[in-house]
Amino acid sequence: MKNTVKHSILAVLATIGLCASLAQAQTVNSVYVIDGRGQVATSGTGLCWRTSFWTPAAAATDPNGCKCDKDLLPKDVCEPKVAAAPAAPMSPAAAPAPAPAARPMGAKVTLAADALFDFNKATLRPEGRAKLDDVAAKSNSLVLEVVIAVGHADRIGGTAYNQKLSEKRAASVKDYLVSKGIPANRVYTEGKGEKQPVTKMSDCKGPKSAKVIACLQPDRRVDIEIIGTSK
**Three-class secondary structure assignment of 70-108:** HHHCCHHHHCCCCCCCCCCCCCCCCCCCCCCCCCCEEEE
Q: What value does the mean pLDDT take over residues 197-222?
A: 88
124 and 215, same structural domain? yes
Give tens-digit pLDDT for 143-168: 888 888 889 999 999 999 999 999 99
Total domain count, the chain = 2
Model confidence band, residue 194 (pLDDT cutoffs 50, 70, 90): very high
Q: Is the dihedral of CA 180, 181, 184, 188 positive or negative?
A: negative
Beta-sheet strand order (sheet of 221-230): 105-112, 221-230, 142-151, 187-191
The β-bridge partners of 120 are: none
More confident residue, 2 or 129: 129
73 has a pLDDT exceeding 80: no
Residue 142 shares a structural domain with residue 49: no
Q: Is residue 100 assigned to a domain?
A: no
3-state secondary structure of 207: coil
Residues 6+ apart with CB under 8 A from 227: 56, 104, 105, 106, 107, 144, 145, 146, 147, 148
Domain shared by 61 and 122, yes or no: no
Looking at the structure, do residues 202 and 136 belong to the same domain, yes or no? Answer: yes
Question: Which region among 22-36, 70-84, 119-133, 155-169 has the lowest average model confidence (pLDDT)?
Answer: 22-36
Both 8 and 69 in a single domain? Answer: yes
Q: How confident is the model at residue 195 (pLDDT cuts 50, 70, 90)?
A: very high
Closest to 167 in 3D by CA, of 113, 90, 89: 113
Say yes or no: 69 and 109 in one domain.
no
Query: Is 152 part of a structural domain of the chain?
Result: yes
At 16, the pLDDT band (50, 70, 90 cuts) reads: very low
Task: Look at 83 and 55; give whichever has higher pLDDT.
Answer: 55
Question: Average pLDDT, whole number, for the chain?
Answer: 75
Per-residue pLDDT band at 184 (split at 50, 70, 90): very high
Overall average pLDDT of the 104-126 stretch: 67
Same domain, yes or no: 74 and 179: no
Is residue 9 scored above 50 in pLDDT?
Answer: no
Please indicate, yes or no, whether residues 57 and 125 belong to a single structural domain of this protein: no
Q: Are 72 and 146 in contact (CB under 8 A)?
A: yes
> What is the residue range of 41's domain?
2-78
How confident is the model over 157-181, as a mean pLDDT?
93
Q: Is a pLDDT exceeding 80 seen at residue 199? A: yes
